[in-house]
Structure 1
């Protein structure tokens, strides 16, 4: 049987008994309310009936006085009769469900109306001055028969109501006694039923829960589990899940051990590859440096020989001018000296200058990877300010303005970081749009919120927090197709509008990467460009 079914039975059985007891309690409650209402109605009727006779008796006394004195003012009191009629109406309404009492009230009303008519006739006779001796002779100490009838009916009415009131009180007391007994039985019975049900449930379920708890503890301590529980309830299902989990955990531990071994092997292989790449990079830088250094001598020789050829050509031209050669030979020699030879020498000189610039660029790239950094906390604002101060003349010449935002400090080499700012701000000045005033902004992005990370493994170097800096301009911008190659060496976007060999951004990327950061660009052609780079806030090991 499922735990849900057992729980329903545990709830349903006591609840059914409680509902039966509550039904009995509600029944007694209704009886008590009816008895209390009957008692209250009887009290109201008794109060109304006991105050009904006094006005009639007082009126009878006044009528007797008026007859004796012959003064009708003692008799004609219509308000008394209106009040008496209203009280009779209320009394009749209160006993509307009691035919005998209603009949008594109506007989009292008929007798009172008859006596009122008789009193009214006496009052009329007194007002008209007629004799009332027959009526006066009839007045004695006895009450009029109509009033006597009213009193008789009223006494019977009150006696009946007192009997009914006593009966209602007795019924109310009995009902309340039964109600209290029902409440006590309901409370005691409910407690007994719940206690018995809880005992049965605990006896049936407690042992299985104990076994399940013990298996959970064994699973947490990586110990073998006991035999699975029998049955088809949820506890047995949970125990089955624990056994399945134990099997899977053991399998996962084996897989984790294998994966850890693979990761360690891959890490060692990656370390070897990184070391190999570092060695190759160092060898390439040394090769570039050596080749660039060795190529300087031939270029110097070419430049010297081209100068010698230029001087020799000048001497030869002077000789031709003074040799008095015939006109055709003179023109031919002059055309060769001033045309082909001069043009060839200029081409050689330009090629030598170009080759020398490329060699210088190669040397700068190789030095960017070999220079030893002096790591310290760098005031980025001061470094950028020094670069801007050195470009005052260029700014004035091109009519551009530079806005300096707050630059938080970073960790790195001051000279290398100054070179980064110099390259980026210089590029922004070179590629400003002449159609509008140039604006350049240097600043830093707000740091991103730190995300919760797992604890680093023992021996692992935690990655420092990085800050992002930028140089933004409103220049000509970069086409989308040219963005991926912007940081490659000798990549020039507009060779016809700006000087240089196209190694500035490559040096920027190499410098930033040696600081543990990265560099990228976002641009819209015709609107401007923004160059970003990141630097660490805290010390890190130099590469």
Structure 2
């Protein structure tokens, strides 16, 4: 028999309020479910976006490797282009409800399609033996123009996706908090309302009310509920509603746990991608070493042939002098031998010397990545002192004042760290302003800095080398650490790989290097090195 029949007047008002409370609870549950779905979608979109850049960069590497090697087979990876297209399609579907993000995906697709056509043109030209000069120009920068625009759009997309994720996570947190308060309020209100009517129903429904109160408490504390009460009265309906609410909450918790597991899997996948990139970097270094080593022999031959040509020209000149030719013929032949031929020979020897220097620089770059470091606690102060001693002759010649502050120790390879500071000091000496006394200062920033780029990375110390030299123009700042980039070539000689070697060495130590400079005022190079062994 319905409780409404037994006590219509006693429970009419409490029942109406109870139904209203249940409606609020179900509404809050629906809002929570929608918030969870939107948060999950945001995380998935962000993951897909962050995983999109590496395949494109790998295609760029294949195209450039194909151009360098003259082999179109490096670019016969149609499946990679299809995979990139599928990723973009999935990403576009995922953000279909966000027109601005969908437009960014469309622009990224256009840039990828444009670069794919360029890659196809490169492959076709390689197969037909056409000249590569136009494509070398297009591929000569840090990245092709289409890829740079693609990365810019991808960065904007990721920034917006991150903002949406933060916003939706905040909404989810607030929704859950409101749900908890609403649920707790519903339970408390339910207990109070039914306590007011308990006196009239004590004999007939006391036990059921106790069970209901206990179930409400278990729900509020997150514990599982027992089997729903039997019967068809309002108390049984309420208990069934509590069970449904409990089931929905458990389902939400399970989804959250599944999402956490998925994120952990994605993190492991990213770690695998990073390992793949590391292996590809090692392969590239071995390729550079092999190619550079193989190019030495032709250069040696060219140098030897040029010397033979010089000897032949000298013998030919002596023969002409002994032949007693007419003055007109003698002057014409002498002009050819002493002018055009000699100039051509000097150009050949100069080109061979320059090519040999470039090859040696490439070998030095490749060796940096293949050296086995002897990891230990390093006295940076002693390493800098050795570097200063080695450069003392140049320091005295330039009348430079070198100030070395207290330098805390770091973790790394002693020889490598000494080479880093030796290169930075040499670079500072080379580009001092001759119009004023030179001053170079070596020091360290106070305290340890946590590395925010990796959760498991050790804390680092930051060192600096500051000079009052010529400085670096703002337009050149992005090229400072690239190989074969030289500034103020009329001031100092060099092959343009010193700072590139510094960056490679510091990165292998798990640190980073950057520069702050003002043209005409000087430059400050900063280097971070680990203070404790790195964890792999």
Cα RMSD, aligned residues only = 3.5
Q: Partners in 2 of 1:343 and 1:205 — Cα distance?
A: 113
CA shift, 1:243, in A, is 9.7
Deviations 1:30-87 (A, max 9, x none): xxxxxxxxxxxxxxxxxxxxxxxxxxxxxxxxxxxxxxxxxxxxxxxxxxxxxxxxxx
Q: Partners in 2 of 1:404 and 1:480 — Cα distance?
A: 28
Determine if the alignment matches structure 1 residue 515 to structure 2 residue 516.
Answer: no
Question: What are the within-5 Å matches in structure 2 for residues 224-373 of structure 1?
Answer: 224=225, 249-373=249-373
Task: Give the conservation status (yes or no) of the 8 Å contact 1:219–1:225.
Answer: no
Question: Judging changes above 3 Å, is the alpha-carbon distance between structure 1 residues 402 and 252 closer, same or farther for their aligned structure 2 residues?
Answer: farther
- Aligned twin of 1:537: 531
Aligned length: 328
Q: Which runs of 5+ in 2 are unaligned?
A: 1-12, 15-191, 199-205, 229-241
What secondary structure is seen at the aligned counterpart in 1 of 2:510? Answer: coil
CA shift, 1:321, in A, is 1.3
Question: What are the within-5 Å matches in structure 2 for residues 128-207 of structure 1?
Answer: none
Between 254-263 and 388-397, the greater mean CA deviation after superposition: 254-263
Q: Partners in 2 of 1:536 and 1:213 — Cα distance?
A: 56
Question: Judging changes above 3 Å, is the alpha-carbon distance between structure 1 residues 319 and 444 closer, same or farther for their aligned structure 2 residues?
Answer: same
Question: Judging changes above 3 Å, is the alpha-carbon distance between structure 1 residues 461 and 349 closer, same or farther for their aligned structure 2 residues?
Answer: same
- Aligned twin of 1:231: none
Question: What are the within-5 Å matches in structure 2 for residues 465-476 of structure 1?
Answer: 465-476=459-470
CA shift, 1:449, in A, is 7.0
Instruction: Choose the corresponding residue for 1:489, options 483, 494, 499.
Output: 483
CA shift, 1:326, in A, is 0.8
What secondary structure is seen at the aligned counterpart in 1 of 2:279? Answer: helix
CA shift, 1:505, in A, is 0.9
Instruction: Choose the corresponding residue for 2:458, options 436, 460, 464.
Output: 464
Question: Judging changes above 3 Å, is the alpha-carbon distance between structure 1 residues 328 and 509 closer, same or farther for their aligned structure 2 residues?
Answer: same
Question: Judging changes above 3 Å, is the alpha-carbon distance between structure 1 residues 204 and 541 closer, same or farther for their aligned structure 2 residues?
Answer: same
CA shift, 1:500, in A, is 1.2
CA shift, 1:214, in A, is 7.6
- Aligned twin of 1:415: 415
- Aligned twin of 2:385: 385
- Aligned twin of 1:105: none
Task: Give the conservation status (yes or no) of the 8 Å contact 1:219–1:246.
Answer: no
TM-score by length of 1: 0.55
Q: Partners in 2 of 1:411 and 1:245 — Cα distance?
A: 56
- Aligned twin of 1:223: 224
Question: Judging changes above 3 Å, is the alpha-carbon distance between structure 1 residues 220 and 320 closer, same or farther for their aligned structure 2 residues?
Answer: farther
Q: Partners in 2 of 1:246 and 1:498 — Cα distance?
A: 76
Question: Judging changes above 3 Å, is the alpha-carbon distance between structure 1 residues 260 and 324 closer, same or farther for their aligned structure 2 residues?
Answer: same
Deviations 1:7-50 (A, max 9, x none): xxxxxxxxxxxxxxxxxxxxxxxxxxxxxxxxxxxxxxxxxxxx
- Aligned twin of 1:479: 473
Bigger Rg, which one: 1
TM-score by length of 2: 0.55
Q: Partners in 2 of 1:494 and 1:252 — Cα distance?
A: 63
Q: Partners in 2 of 1:537 and 1:209 — Cα distance?
A: 62
Q: Which runs of 5+ in 1 are unaligned?
A: 3-199, 228-241, 454-459
Deviations 1:449-474 (A, max 9, x none): 779x9xxxxxx983211111111111
Question: Judging changes above 3 Å, is the alpha-carbon distance between structure 1 residues 449 and 385 closer, same or farther for their aligned structure 2 residues?
Answer: closer
What secondary structure is seen at the aligned counterpart in 2 of 1:377? Answer: strand
- Aligned twin of 1:435: 435
Task: Give the conservation status (yes or no) of the 8 Å contact 2:464–2:525.
Answer: yes
CA shift, 1:261, in A, is 3.7
Task: Give the conservation status (yes or no) of the 8 Å contact 1:215–1:226.
Answer: no
Question: Judging changes above 3 Å, is the alpha-carbon distance between structure 1 residues 290 and 333 closer, same or farther for their aligned structure 2 residues?
Answer: same
CA shift, 1:262, in A, is 2.6
Q: Partners in 1 of 2:197 and 2:406 — Cα distance?
A: 69
Q: Partners in 1 of 2:509 and 2:316 — Cα distance?
A: 59
Determine if the alignment matches structure 1 residue 524 to structure 2 residue 518.
Answer: yes
- Aligned twin of 1:85: none
Q: Partners in 1 of 2:450 and 2:214 — Cα distance?
A: 40
Deviations 1:137-178 (A, max 9, x none): xxxxxxxxxxxxxxxxxxxxxxxxxxxxxxxxxxxxxxxxxx
Q: Partners in 2 of 1:522 and 1:509 — Cα distance?
A: 15
Task: Give the conservation status (yes or no) of the 8 Å contact 1:476–1:526.
Answer: yes
